[in-house]
Each structure stands twice: as C-alpha cells, then as structure tokens.
C-alpha cells in the first residue's frame, strides 16, 4: 500500500499508509488525544476525523479546546440535529440547507403551517433528546445518481436540486446523525453527545426564498445560537438583551433624531436633533481633515454612464446603481445617467484638470459625498443599511514610494478620530491579492509590503484575510469594538493601481516623463448614517456632551420663572450650546423623566429661588439629585465641556 508522510505542527513527521483517517492518526499520537479529538486541519482545510488522508500533508488535531473548529462543528451539528428534530415532530416537513453563521446557524424548511414560539420550544426539547442519545455520526461518498434516486424516493425535492447542482466529479457526501441523513460537505463531530446540550437556543423564525430568489418558493428559516458552555450562551443572550435596549431605531424615535417611511425606502428623514448630531460630527471631521492636509471638494450627484463605463463600475456595479434617463434637447436618444454610488471616478476628474507635478503629490482629496446604491428592500435596516448615504470619502493620489508613509499617516489619523469618538481600540484586517486581479505581481508585492510595513510601524497587529483584496489592490479594514463587545467594520484603506490607468490620470515625474499616480481610497467613518447608528448604540443614546443632539434643557418649576429661563437659554445659545426651554405647565418631575428618556445630558431647573439668586439647579443624566450654582459659573463649565476634543 502507498505510503504518505504527515507533518505535525512541531515539525516532526510520521509515515502512514495512504487512506488512514484523521481519527486513527490522533489515536496513534496518544490514546488521550484519540479520545479528545473532534477534527483535524489538513493543509489549512478543516477535515473530518472519518475522512481518509490520501496524500502527504501538514496536519494538526483539534479538540474542544480549539475554539474556532469546536464552535464550527457544534453549530454545524446543531443545524442537522434541529432538522432531524423538526422531521421527527412533523414528518411531512421538507428540509433544504442549514449553514453555520456568526454565533450560530440557521436551517430552512418547507412547511405549510408557520412555526410558532411554542413549536420552537418543542424543537429545542427534541434536540436535547437527540443529543442525549449520543447517536453516532457517520459519512459516506455516493455517486450522483444514487443520491438523486435516494432523495426522489424520500420525497425531498430541494435535496434533489442541490445534488443536481454539484459539479460533475465533485464528491456527493452524505452524513447520518443516528438514523437521520443529510447532504453535507462536512466536517462533523463523531456523535450527537459531543454537542453541549445546555449551550444553545433557538432564537427566531423568518421567511426566506429558496436559494435567495424571490421567484422561488418561500420557506421558513429557524435561527439558533450556540456556544461551548452555558455561561457563554448566557453572556451572549445578555448581550442581545442589552443590544435590544440600545437599538438605534428605538432610540432614534425616543430621542426624535430621525425616521424612515415607505415613500422613501432606505432614505433618512433627519429631525432637528438628529441633524444637529450629524452636522456636529461632520464639522468635526471637516476640521480633522483640514488639519490632516486634505482639500475638500464636491462632485455631481448625477453622472453620465460614459464615466461609469470608463471606470469599470457600469460593468461590475450596474445592478446596484439607480439609473436616470433624460430626454436631452436635440438628442436622438435618451441620455442615460446614474446617481453616483461612489465618489472615486469623480475625484479623478478633478485630479485630471491641469498637469500635476511629482512635487504636488501626495494630493489628499476629501468629499462628504452623497451616494445612492440600490439595496434589496429586505436588506435595509435602519441607519445601518440604507440606499442614500453620505461617505466621509477621500482619495490620496501619490507616488508608489509614498504608499507606506501615507498608510502610516492615515492609520494615525484614523486612530486619533476613533479615540475622540469613544472607541479606544480597534482591530486591523489585511486583505491581500485575489485570484482574479488587475496589475502585475511585482506591483502587488510593493503594495502589500507597504501596507503591512506601515501597519506594523504604526504599532498595530493585523489579521490576514487571504485573497479578499479588491481586484485593483490590497486593502486594510478597521474594525471597532463597541461598549458591549460587538464588532463594526468602519474604516478602510485600499490601494488602487487600476482606476488611474482606466481614467488616464498622470503626473510629471522628476525625469520630465508622465507617470501614473497610485490612488488610495480611504474612509474613517464609512458613512455618516451607519456610523451615527453605531454611535447611538455604543453610547445607548447617552452621547458625550459635545456630541449630544440636545445638550441642555432649561425647565421651569413655576411660571414666574419663564422670563429668566428664556434669558438663560438665549445666553447658552449665544455661547454656542444647543439649549432649549421647557416652559410647559407640568410638574418638574414629569419634565425630568421625559427629558431623561430623550437622553438630554443636562437639565437646568429654575424656580423662584433660582430667579432671585440668578442661579440654576443642575441635574445630569443618570445621576441622582441636583446641585445649585450661579448661572455664569455653570455656563462657563458647560462651554468647556462642549468643546470638541480636537479643539481642546
């Protein structure tokens, strides 16, 4: 029998007969590892313990101590166990697909009756019964005809379609969890009892079209979450409860920041408070960019398709663009335009006006660019996923030898802004060259080296996303962690050698010849809409004073204080504070409760004593009791507190 060599993480290697399984390799290393093993990594691929190994490989054995593989297997097995439970409870239900997703899994079912919350409880109980049975998990590879015949006989039409879609020559792998069988790539655990029975929960049911196509049948999708321990599950559910309290859509209503409606799907109606927050953030970014050496520009909303064809967006992005047809005067055909989905081609047009010298580079060009992208209605989600948005967009035109310095400069620029906005830490992800790409390998080598070196020089480690770069260049993604531990990908930096070529951007070098600039696409916030949604949820609506939409409410206790209250408001506004008066004939406790719900950080209460003393009583959001002080003293303190971080 043929021999293969397996190399282990410590560098040692052993020879085995071809066809040995990963389970047998684990047992050969040690009996205890053989018992603990749950899967293997073979040349970087997640590998089932039951699969035969046919070639020389690098191998490592995974146990439940390895979080990544363990969670993937637990969640994948639970998808199958849930589908088995559903079919044991309702044998007529048809099964489709059930992938692992972040924190859990889902499975889509074809059932005439809708699943109810009571049904989810019954399914959970049945799943725990199956787990406690400790049924073996086994696998076989079948030929396509056998698999199709099996699913036709068992009346599983969705599985028939899935098998038919598998490319000729690819294995058709079948898995059994006890008596129940499913089509699956794997890998899986070795028996149902390896799944923690107390560390999962079914969360919700939603509609989903078969294969994501609205022309197909609508199915019912059950979502679940799972972890390695009950404590981890409990922590996750607590986080979800906290996230629900922080939901920016609910807080947006309570704080009267914005609303959205059917007549303008994916578009935001900003109310006065929300727009105050928006413009405060924009003014801050404008100052930061000016200090960072950026020039601010503004480009058209509607641009002829010819530019989008030249840039490559018409071919690659047309389905996400809003098309505008115009009957131009004296024209034989309608003029076809598009609302811009991004700003980069327009920035190149500004760059191309007039010759540029190498001495003028880098040129940092910024725009608060209003963009529109078609997003399916089902994908829209408050401020987090919209169709109309404004990017804090900029493009840095530079020479190849300036990429590293500009990257480091940008990371330092971005990190200072994130700190000012309350995010002390962020992660960096590095995406390198994809299989299909433009540009020569030596150029990619330079760009990737420059991004990596600059990131390291700025003091940040990075996580590698192999092959996930844009077709025109590598990129960095900056991921924020919010107050309750959620990650948000916001900032980006992408190196682009392609668009300057397509749109004929040049500069005159020191040698007097024309050269192509490199184009660095960069954003810090991403979009104002989404970032404001993140800010609302991060702070639970309790913004730092300088960002608060309504900073001060002056509330009267008696009507005799109305004139003085209006005087106080006028003076606060004159000093640049966002202040308003509440002169309603309501009790002060009622006013305090209402403005606390609205997350107003400072309430100044004024009664007869305050009028006579020219003072105010200060109540801060989240604090008990009030403090009284002369108005001018309080005003000076609030002005200092309201100063944006970059101006302190």
Please name every residue paired with 473 in a beta bridge, in sequence order, or none if there are none: 470
pLDDT digits (tens, 9 = 90+) for 147-164: 999 999 999 999 999 999
3-state secondary structure of 155: coil
Which CATH architecture best describes the domain 258-301+340-530? 2-Layer Sandwich (3.30)
3-state secondary structure of 356: coil
Residue range 578-590: mean pLDDT, rounded: 95
What fold is seen in the domain 78-243? Answer: 3.30.980
- Euclidean distance between CA atoms 622 and 642, whole angstroms: 18
3-state secondary structure of 556: strand
CA-based angle 222:227:229, to the nearest 5?
A: 135
For residue 243, pLDDT beyond 70: yes
- Euclidean distance between CA atoms 461 and 482, whole angstroms: 19
Residue range 292-316: mean pLDDT, rounded: 91
pLDDT class of 14 with cuts at 50, 70, 90: very high
- pLDDT of the residue at 518: 92
Residue range 220-240: mean pLDDT, rounded: 96
pLDDT class of 331 with cuts at 50, 70, 90: low
Domain with CATH 3.10.20.30 in the chain: 3-63
For 231-278, where are the E strands, in sequence order? Answer: 258-259, 269-270
Domain with CATH 3.30.930.10 in the chain: 258-301+340-530
- pLDDT of the residue at 178: 95
- pLDDT of the residue at 329: 66
For residue 213, pLDDT beyond 90: no
pLDDT class of 330 with cuts at 50, 70, 90: low
Give me the residue label for tokens 């529109």: 372
- pLDDT of the residue at 424: 87
- Euclidean distance between CA atoms 552 and 563, whole angstroms: 17
pTM, 2 dp? 0.85
Q: Which helix (H) or strand (E) holds 602?
A: strand 602-606
Residue 384 neighbours by CB under 8 Å, 6+ apart:
248, 530, 533, 534
Which CATH architecture best describes the domain 3-63? Roll (3.10)
For residue 36, pLDDT beyond 90: yes
Torsion, Cα 260 261 263 269, to 10 degrees, reads -30
Using the 8-state DSSP alphabet, how is residue 136 labeled? B
Is beta strand 137-142 parallel, antiparallel or unpaired with respect to 104-110?
unpaired
Give me the residue label for tokens 């725009």: 367
pLDDT class of 422 with cuts at 50, 70, 90: very high
- Euclidean distance between CA atoms 543 and 541, whole angstroms: 6
- Euclidean distance between CA atoms 147 and 159, whole angstroms: 9
Residue range 519-548: mean pLDDT, rounded: 96
Could you tell me what percent of the chain has a pLDDT over 70? 99
**What are the residue numbers of the active site?**
344, 373, 391, 393, 395, 475, 521
Domain with CATH 3.40.50.800 in the chain: 552-647
Where residue 387 falls (left for φ over 0; alpha for ψ -120 to 50; beta otherwise) is alpha
- Euclidean distance between CA atoms 100 and 98, whole angstroms: 7
pLDDT digits (tens, 9 = 90+) for 489-530: 999 999 888 889 889 999 999 999 999 999 999 999 999 999
pLDDT class of 318 with cuts at 50, 70, 90: confident
- Euclidean distance between CA atoms 82 and 75, whole angstroms: 10
- Angle between the 67-89 and 117-133 helix axes, to the nearest 10 degrees? 110
Residue range 266-292: mean pLDDT, rounded: 97
Where residue 202 falls (left for φ over 0; alpha for ψ -120 to 50; beta otherwise) is beta
pLDDT class of 437 with cuts at 50, 70, 90: confident
Number of H-type helices and E-type strands within the chain: 20, 35
Domain with CATH 3.30.980.10 in the chain: 78-243
For residue 315, pLDDT beyond 70: yes
Residue range 95-124: mean pLDDT, rounded: 95
CB-facing half-sphere around the CA of 129: CA atoms within 13 A = 11
What fold is seen in the domain 552-647? Answer: Rossmann fold (3.40.50)
DSSP 436-447: S--S-HHHHHHH
Q: Which helix (H) or strand (E) holds 250?
A: helix 248-254
Residue range 183-210: mean pLDDT, rounded: 95
């Amino acid at each position: 029998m043929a021999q293969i060599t397996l190399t282990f993480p410590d560098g040692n290697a052993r020879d085995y007969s071809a066809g040995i399984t990963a389970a047998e390799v684990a047992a050969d290393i040690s009996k205890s590892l053989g018992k603990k093993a749950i899967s293997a990594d073979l040349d970087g691929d997640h590998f089932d313990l039951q699969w035969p190994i046919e070639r020389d490989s690098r191998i490592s054995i995974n146990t439940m101590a390895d979080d990544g593989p363990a969670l993937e297997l637990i969640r994948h097995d639970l998808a199958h166990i849930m589908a088995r439970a559903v079919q044991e409870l309702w044998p007529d239900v048809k099964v489709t697909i059930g992938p692992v997703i972040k924190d859990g899994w889902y499975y889509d079912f074809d059932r005439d009756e809708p699943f109810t919350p009571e049904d989810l409880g019954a399914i959970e109980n049945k799943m725990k019964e199956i787990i406690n049975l400790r049924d073996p998990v086994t696998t076989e590879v079948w030929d396509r005809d056998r698999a199709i015949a099996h699913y036709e006989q068992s009346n599983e039409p969705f599985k028939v379609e899935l098998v038919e879609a598998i490319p000729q020559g690819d294995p058709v792998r079948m898995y059994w969890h006890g008596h129940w069988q499913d089509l699956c790539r794997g890998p899986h655990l070795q028996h149902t009892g390896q799944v923690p029975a107390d560390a999962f929960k079914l969360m919700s049911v939603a509609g989903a079209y078969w294969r994501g196509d609205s022309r197909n049948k609508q199915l019912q999708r059950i979502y679940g979450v799972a972890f390695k321990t009950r404590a981890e599950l409990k922590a996750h559910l607590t986080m979800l409860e906290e996230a629900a309290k922080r939901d920016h859509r609910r807080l947006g209503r309570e704080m009267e920041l914005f609303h959205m409606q059917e007549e303008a799907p994916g578009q935001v109606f900003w109310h006065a408070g929300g727009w105050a927050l928006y413009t405060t953030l924009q003014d801050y970014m404008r100052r930061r960019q000016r200090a960072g050496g950026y020039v601010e520009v503004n480009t058209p909303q509607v641009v002829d398709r010819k530019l989008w064809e030249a840039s490559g967006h018409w071919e690659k992005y047309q389905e996400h663009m809003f098309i505008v047809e115009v009957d131009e005067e004296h024209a034989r055909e309608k003029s076809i335009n598009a609302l811009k989905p991004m700003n980069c081609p327009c920035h190149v047009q500004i760059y191309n006006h007039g010759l540029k010298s190498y001495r003028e580079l880098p040129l940092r060009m910024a725009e608060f660019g209003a963009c529109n992208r078609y997003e399916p209605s089902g994908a829209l989600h408050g401020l987090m996923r919209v169709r109309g948005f404004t990017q804090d967009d900029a493009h840095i035109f530079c020479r190849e030898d300036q990429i590293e310095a500009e990257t480091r400069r940008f990371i330092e620029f971005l990190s200072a802004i994130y700190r000012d906005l309350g995010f002390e830490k962020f992660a960096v992800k590095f995406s390198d060259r994809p299989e299909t790409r433009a540009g020569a390998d030596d150029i990619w080598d330079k760009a990737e080296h420059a991004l990596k070196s600059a990131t390291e020089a700025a003091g940040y480690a990075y996580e590698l996303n192999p092959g996930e770069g844009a077709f025109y260049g590598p990129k960095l993604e900056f991921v924020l962690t919010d107050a309750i531990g959620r990650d948000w990908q916001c900032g980006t930096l992408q190196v682009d050698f392609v668009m300057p070529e397509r749109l004929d951007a040049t500069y005159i070098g020191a040698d007097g010849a024309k050269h192509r600039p490199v184009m660095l696409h960069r954003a810090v916030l991403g979009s104002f809409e989404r970032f404001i949604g993140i800010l609302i949820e991060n702070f639970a609506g309790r913004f730092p004073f300088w960002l608060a939409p309504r900073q001060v409410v002056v509330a009267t206790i008696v009507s005799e204080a109305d004139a003085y209250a209006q005087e106080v408001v006028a003076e606060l506004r004159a000093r640049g504070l966002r202040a308003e008066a509440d002169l309603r004939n309501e009790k002060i406790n009622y006013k305090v409760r209402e403005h606390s719900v609205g997350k107003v950080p400072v309430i100044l209460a004024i009664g007869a004593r305050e009028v006579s003393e020219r003072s105010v009583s200060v109540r801060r959001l989240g604090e008990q009791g009030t403090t009284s002080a002369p108005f001018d003293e309080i005003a000076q303190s609030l002005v200092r507190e309201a100063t944006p971080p970059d101006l302190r």
